[in-house]
Every structure is written in structure tokens, then in C-alpha cells.
Amino acid sequence: MLTCAGRGYAARVATSLLTALEMDELVTHTPKEYETLALALARDPARLKTLRDRLADKRRTAPLFDTPRFARDLEAAYAAMLDR
């Protein structure tokens, strides 16, 4: 996933996800930076594979994608609010 940070919803979501996954190197800030990085990745299959593998690994291990943990934490928060 490569994105250009911006004001649009998709750009903000993609930037947030990549930042949460500690993959900021895939966030660009201008269309020119986006094009340059996209071409660099297209020309370097080994680097692209490394980034893809890292992204896949982080999706499996990052708290952001740990749905059971999120549900447990949310349930605990609701229980704490109810107890107050």
C-alpha cells in the first residue's frame, strides 16, 4: 500500500494505517513523491517484496488488527462504565 497524504478520506485512512503499522516510508506528501516512489518500487522487485512481506507480517501482529483484543478491551471499558 502506497499513499499520498492528503485531506481526502482514503488518503487519511491509508496514512493512519501505515503510520500505525510503522511503515511511514510508504506515505508520500506530494504527487511527485508518490510517482517517484511508485516507480522506484516497480523497478526494485526485491524491495517491493520485502515491503509486502513486512506489511503482511504487521497485519498479523499489530494491535490495530487484533480484533479479539479490541473486543475484550471494549467490553472491559463498558463494564467499567457500568460499574461507575
What whole-number distance in Å separates Cα of residue 11 and Cα of residue 42? 21
For residues 16-39, give the mean pLDDT.
96
What whole-number distance in Å separates Cα of residue 23 and Cα of residue 67? 20
For residues 58-66, give the mean pLDDT.
89
- Residue 1 in this model has a pLDDT that exceeds 90: no
For residues 2-29, give the mean pLDDT.
95
Average pLDDT, the chain: 95
What whole-number distance in Å separates Cα of residue 29 and Cα of residue 74? 34
- Residue 64 in this model has a pLDDT that exceeds 90: no
Q: How many CA atoms lie within 13 Å of 78's alpha carbon, on the beta-carbon side?
A: 6
Whole-model pTM? 0.76
Helices (H) and strands (E) in the chain, counts: 4, 2
Predicted local confidence at residue 23, as pLDDT: 96
